[in-house]
Amino acid sequence: MQDKSAVVLKAMKDAKKPLKAGEIAQMTGLSNAEVTKIVKALMKDGKAKSPSRCCYSPA
């Protein structure tokens, strides 16, 4: 999961704006469910944040 976490984090950084899980999934080729799980783990680790409901960005 570490590699996928890095891919998701990179997609969020490259976007330079908060993204929804579906947008991250499209950018990375991962499923929505997988992205949601990864984003929750990144938020728990302090590497991502949710500036508005259902939108995510790097911390």
Domain boundaries, the chain: 2-58
pLDDT surpassing 90 at residue 56: yes
Q: What is the pLDDT of residue 23?
A: 97
pLDDT of residue 44: 96
* pLDDT value of residue 11: 96
Phi then psi dihedrals of residue 53, to 5 deg: -55, 130
- Render pLDDT for 2-53 as a digit per residue (tens, 0 to 9): 699 999 999 999 999 999 999 999 999 999 999 999 999 999 999 999 999 9
pLDDT band (50, 70, 90) for residue 1: low
Coil, helix or strand at residue 17: coil
Taking each helix axis from N to C end, the angle separating 21-28 and 32-44, rounded to the nearest 10 degrees, works out to 110
> Is 2-58 a CATH 1.10.10.10 domain?
yes
The structure's pTM equals: 0.89
